[in-house]
Chains A and B, each alone.
Chain A
C-alpha cells in the first residue's frame, strides 16, 4: 500500500504514516505475540464456514424458495447461504498460504479453561444462584489462569462477589438468581 510520494524535498527520510504506525505498534502485536496462523488454519476455517454455507443452502431449500414474485421464507437465506459458500471458496483459494490471525500457542489452554468455567457458571446459575459459581470462577481465573497467590485470589474473589451482590442484588434489585 505504499503509494509513491508526491514531490517531496526528502522523500527517503519520511516513512508513510502507515509504516510508522506499524512500527510503533509492532512491539505490542508482533514482538512476543504468536506468529500468524498458517495454511492449515485457513483451510480449517474456510471449511467450517463452507459447511455452514452448505448447511444453510440445504435448510433454505427445505423451507421453500418460492418465486421472485412470491418469495418463500427460504429464498433470502438461500441467497445469503450461496453467498457464504462462494466467499468461503474464495477464501480457501485467496488465503491458502495462511498469514492472517494468530497461531495457537502453549497458552491457548487458558481461554479453553476460561470457557469451561463460564459454561459451568451457566449450568449452575439457575440451580444454586450466582454467588458460589462466581466465586469459583473468579478463584480459578485468578489463581490458575492469572498466577496470583492463593491469598490474593481468595481475598479478591470474595471482594468481587460481595461487590457484585451489592450492585446487582442490593442496589439494582435485578432478578439474577441468588442464594442469599
Chain B
C-alpha cells in the first residue's frame, strides 16, 4: 500500500503542466529526429541528450521518456514508408508494413502500429509497476561480487545477441571496458591512459562517446550510402484504422503485449527477439499464412506491439539492478547518471519520487505518443520528402553544437568527431557499437565491484564462486560463453562435407 501511495505521488509530479509540456516536446523532437532515415532510437537519444541538460532531474527524465517513445515510433514510420528500419526491432515491421504502404494503406499500418505500441507499452508499464519493486527488493542484498558478475553477464549477453560477428562484438566490448579506465583511478588517484592530457584526467564523458558512435558515426556512414536511391514516400491517408482492421489486429496486439513484456525483461536485444517472435507467432496462428508479407495487418500489429512492450519492460533490469539490457538502455542509463540518479535496487526505497516519476512519465509519454502520432503522421511524411542531402548537415550541426553545450567544452566536440570516425569505421569493418557503449557505461561499475570484492575476499578470487548468487550468475556467464562453441561444434560434425575449413578454427 505504501507503494500505491508513492505511485500516486509520482503521478502528481508527472501531471504538472511544465512536465507535461516537456514530455510533449520530447515526443515531438524524438519523432522528428527518429524519422530521419538511418537514425534509430539509440542515435536519436544520443543526439538529443544535451537537451535534457540544465533541466530539473524529474523533468529531464520525463522529457527523456518522451524522446524514447518518439524515437521508437519514428523508426516505425521509416520502416513502413521507406523500408528503412531504424533499428533491428522494427525490421519485421518492414515485411507487412511496407506491403500495406504499397497498397496505399500506409496510414492503416501506421495507425495500427501506434495503437499497438500504446497498448503494448502500457501493459508493460503496468507490469513494471508491480514487478520492479519485487526485483529491486531481491537485489538489495547484492554486494560487489554480485554486481561484478551481473555486469559481466550483461555485457556478454549484449555482445552475444548482437547481430554482427560475435567475437567482434566481444572485441568492441573489451575496447569499451578499456576506454572506461581512462582518467583518474578512483581508488588510488593515479592517472591512467591520460598521456598527460588535462582534458582526459577526469575520464571520457559518456555523452560524447554515445553521440559520436551512434549519432555522428551513423550520419557519416549515411553520406556514403546516400547515393542509393530511396523512394520518396507517397501520400498517407486514412490514418485511423477501420473497425475491421482493429478487430483483425486485436488478438495480435494482446499476444504481442504479453510476449513482448516477458522477452523484454531478458537482457540483450529483448525488443528485437520479441518482434520476431511475435511475427512468427502471428504467422503460425493465421488461418491463411500466405497473406503475411503481402500486407497482413497482424504482421504489423504483433511485432510493433511486442517491440514496444519489450522496450518498456527492459527498463526493469535497468531501474532495479542498474544493468542496461541493450544499447538504447545504456543511453538511458547514461542520461540518468548525468541527472545524478544511479539506477539500482536502492532507487525504489531511497528516492521513491524519482523512481515513480520515471515509471509514470512512461505512461504519459506513451499516451502523448498515441495522441500525437496519428494526427501528425502527415507532417513526418513531409519531413521524409526533404532530401537527405539537406537533412544530413543540419543533423550533424545539431549534434556538434549540442555536444558543445553539455560542458561548454570544445574538447567534447572533438571527442564526438573522433568517436564519429570510430563509429563509421566500426560499421565498415563489421563491429557493433552497441557492446562498446554498454561496456563503457558499465566499465567503472564493473572495475569498482571487482576491486571491492577482491578487498572483501582478502585477495582470494575464489570468493566469487562461493557466494551463491554470484556463483549462479557466473555459471550462467560460462554457459552463455561456451554454448555457441558447443553448438557450432555440433552443427559441424554432421555437416562436415559442405563446411569449408573456415569455421574449423573458431573453437
Contacts and interface: CB of A to CB of B under 8 A. Distances in A.
Nearest to A49: B171
Interface in B195-254: 216, 219-221, 223-228
Contacts of A175: 405, 408
Nearest to B280: A17
Interface residues of A, number: 88
B380 interface: no
Interface string B372-399: 0000000000000001111011101110
A65 interface: no
Secondary structure class of chain B's binding surface, majority of residues? helix
Contacts of A105: 224
> What 5 pairs between A and B have smallest CB-CB spacing?
A146-B389, A69-B459, A100-B430, A101-B430, A68-B459
Contacts of A100: 164-165, 168, 429-430
Given A87-B170, A104-B428, A134-B397, A125 B392 contact: no
A146 B427 contact: no
Contacts, number: 226
Chain B interface size, as a band, is 35 or more
Contact of B94 (A24, A126, A145): A24
A17 B167 contact: no
A102 B427 contact: yes
Contacts of B290: 13
Contacts of A11: none
A77 interface: yes
A166 interface: no
Nearest to B503: A94
Nearest to B506: A94
A176 interface: yes
A107 B222 CA distance: 11
B429 A45 contact: yes
26 contacts: A17-B276, A21-B92, A25-B85, A25-B94, A28-B83, A37-B429, A42-B429, A45-B431, A53-B178, A73-B187, A73-B188, A80-B177, A87-B170, A90-B167, A94-B506, A100-B429, A107-B227, A111-B224, A115-B417, A122-B417, A125-B413, A137-B396, A146-B226, A148-B390, A164-B401, A174-B404
Given A24-B95, A125-B413, A148-B390, A68 B192 contact: no
B135 interface: no
A125 B175 contact: no
B174 A87 contact: yes
B345 to A, nearest CB: 24
Given A17-B276, A95-B167, A105-B224, A37 B428 contact: yes
Interface in B354-379: none
Interface in A99-119: 100-102, 104-105, 107-108, 110-111, 114-115, 118-119
B451 A95 contact: no
Given A32-B228, A141-B393, A73 B185 contact: yes
A141 B220 CA distance: 11
Nearest to A177: B404
